[in-house]
Structure 1
Amino acid sequence: MASAREWEMLWFHSHFEALTTTCHGDAWQAFVTAAMSSQHGGAFIQVDPAGRGDQGCDGYVDGLMFACYGAKSPSDRIVQDKIDSDLNKARTHWGHLMERWAFVYNNAAGLPVMAGKKLADLRRSHLPNLSVENWPPEVLWRECLRELDRDDLVRLLGAPPAPDPAAATYISQCIRSLARTRLSPEIGPVPMVPPGKIECNNFSDATSSLIKEYEPHTHHVRHYFKMASPGEHYQVSQNLKFRYTALKATLDGSDAIFHKLVDEIKEDAFSSEPQEFEREYLSAALLVTTHFFETCIIFESPKAANVPAE
């Protein structure tokens, strides 16, 4: 089992990776600059683009210039143009101050192929006194966020769940909230998910570890259902299946879907409750989501993922 600090860092890392799939445009630049400001304090310079524009500077600290790009569906041509435009403007207006130029983007899967080649070419071109750097989300995490104090991470990513399993009262409140929507009076068995489900859904390492850390505690949820009214488990599983299907149509990536499910369950169950127990609420919602990841039809199973398309 992870220590309390390790557990919190797992959650911060997993939540960050989910955020990168939903944070676009100006919101992505605002997140990056907030993270860098937290790390570097007064040494970090943020430029207001009003008036003359930022002249290629999305942030600057100690010789390192940032160009932020947070497209939802990046086009190869547009990304190449963005790299050329931002680098040329930065060299024109800030060149005497720059030692490193970093292209910071939100797509953990990487850049479109020709945009990647553009960066590779720039790195090999040996621009005078300038290092060109490729910063996907994992580099931003490694270079900046994982070095931040806990208070800064909470401000950027929200408070993590409590490290211990939530109390039974919070678990039952989550489940009762999900059970309020009556979808079908029929009761049916919910199949166990086969081994390999985490891997086939392409969760990040951080989210995979988060789920595995909570799996040993899902017996608390199973105990609740042993005492629950007939059909409640089926009712809740169908509710979550509906939510999962809707989120899958609008979000990119399993990390984002998993965290959004947790957030929705917490909000539905505890929106009117005192906020002093926020971490316990989040722990309960995470525990319930993990249980239904294991035992109901949300996310893809290895068998379904391997069925060839017709």
Structure 2
Amino acid sequence: MMDELQRSIYVDRFRVAFHTLKGTTFQDWFVRLAGYAFGPDFEEVRPYGPHGDLKCDGRRISTGSVFQCYAPDAMKEAALIAKVEEDFHGARVHWATSMQEWVFVHNDGRGLPPNAVQQLDMLRKTHNPLQIATWSEPELFSLAMGLDLPSLQALFGPAASIAIVDRLVMSDLVPIIEALQRQEPNPSDPPLTPPSAEKLEKNALSEETGLFLRIGRRKSALVDTFFRKSPRPDLGERIAEAFRLRYAELKAFDLPADTIFKHLQDYAGFNGEPKRQGAALAILTYFFDSCDIFEDPIAVGAS
């Protein structure tokens, strides 16, 4: 069974995949997701020969659904409308005997522009009773989070559980601490820049981030013991200062608090096998609580 920490990790990985994958990479990811969600009821259709994929990236047999993906680097209305016209009418020709629903899967979580929505409405009226639907972040999120744990592991990789965090011992912290000691500035990291004149309103952290912190605190005492027993008394403070600097760099960009937390997770080494993820979470939580990174949201009614 999946616990709440694993679920939060998979929620985060879904969002990263949805918002970063483009083009055929997004299409391949959707096909894998649909395959795990629908099992043998879903058939991938791959391009072959001069006719390509016949305007179908995959289909669901029981519902007669034909799926077509579109995930450009930037959504442009004219190109989008042309894509819908070409793919819909192409699918109608090639899959006429089996298609009962056409599903346009796209990567713009903000929704489609109005002229494209009107175009889809016109197609619905013209080709009734054929069903026409659009799937984006909400539909794909529902599909992903309905998967069982083995399917999520196959799609997104392993994730630390609460039980793994609870079983952490001192030696599990060593690889993360050593990596943080060796951390050199990353050329791809945002450089220090002065804050903008107008700061974004202070954001509270989301429930998912709050959950990460609550579970990480289960091992904060272990991290504290590690630094108190270290032969280098300044080790904890040196790493704390590195976190402060990284936080300042990110905050200067007026990034939302959850985005900053995600960058700090990456900085702490929240990747690899589950035990390493658990150790990184415990260490990040320790420094979240013990050094001046992030600010508590202002309580309602506070002056």
Provide TM-score, normalisation by structure 1: 0.71
What amino acid maps onto 1:14 in structure 2? D
Instruction: Give the structure 2 partner of residue 141 of structure 1.
Output: 141
Deviations along 1:126-184, one digit per CA (max 9) or x if unpaired, are 63222222212221121x3233232121010011113232333222431232022478x
CA distance in 1, matches of 2:256, 2:99: 35
Instruction: Give the structure 2 partner of residue 95 of structure 1.
Output: 96
Q: Percent identity?
A: 25
Return the offset for 1:25.
1.3
Does 2:239 match 1:236?
yes
Instruction: Give the structure 1 partner of residue 157 of structure 2.
Output: 158
CA distance in 2, matches of 1:87, 1:155: 32
CA distance in 1, matches of 2:7, 2:131: 30
Q: Is the 8 A contact 1:200 1:300 kept in 2?
A: no
SS in 2 for 1:83: helix
Larger Rg: 2
CA distance in 1, matches of 2:249, 2:48: 38
What amino acid maps onto 2:150 in structure 1? D
What amino acid maps onto 1:236 in structure 2? I
CA distance in 2, matches of 1:12, 1:150: 10
Does 2:284 match 1:285?
no
Mind listing any 5+ residue stretches in structure 1 that lack a counterpart? 184-196, 271-277, 304-310
Deviations along 1:75-126, one digit per CA (max 9) or x if unpaired, are 3333333223222221222233222222222333x23533663466357636
Does 2:186 match 1:176?
no
Which range moved further: 211-220 or 24-33? 211-220
Instruction: Give the structure 2 partner of residue 60 of structure 1.
Output: 59
Distance change in 2, residues 1:148/1:181 (3 Å): closer
Return the offset for 1:45.
1.8
Which range moved further: 115-124 or 217-226? 115-124
Instruction: Give the structure 1 partner of residue 117 of structure 2.
Output: 117
- Aligned-CA RMSD value: 3.8
SS in 2 for 1:87: helix
Superposition pairs for residues 180-259 of structure 1, below 5 Å?
Answer: 180-181=182-183, 200=203, 207-208=208-209, 210-217=211-218, 219-220=220-221, 221-228=223-230, 229-240=232-243
Mind listing any 5+ residue stretches in structure 2 that lack a counterpart? 186-199, 299-303
Instruction: Give the structure 2 partner of residue 26 of structure 1.
Output: 24
Return the offset for 1:292.
4.1
Which range moved further: 8-17 or 164-173? 164-173
What amino acid maps onto 1:279 in structure 2? P
**With CA pairs under 8 Å and 6+ residues apart, which has the higher RCO, 1 or 2?**
1
Q: Is the 8 A contact 2:227 2:235 kept in 1?
A: yes
Superposition pairs for residues 257-296 of structure 1, below 5 Å?
Answer: 262=265, 265-266=268-269, 278-294=273-289
Instruction: Give the structure 2 partner of residue 307 of structure 1.
Output: none
Q: Is the 8 A contact 1:10 1:209 kept in 2?
A: no
SS in 1 for 2:215: helix
CA distance in 2, matches of 1:95, 1:297: 62
Provide TM-score, normalisation by structure 2: 0.72
CA distance in 2, matches of 1:215, 1:81: 49
Does 2:35 match 1:40?
no
CA distance in 1, matches of 2:171, 2:34: 40
CA distance in 1, matches of 2:48, 2:95: 17
SS in 2 for 1:80: helix
Distance change in 2, residues 1:285/1:98 (3 Å): same
Q: Is the 8 A contact 2:162 2:215 kept in 1?
A: no
CA distance in 2, matches of 1:243, 1:8: 26
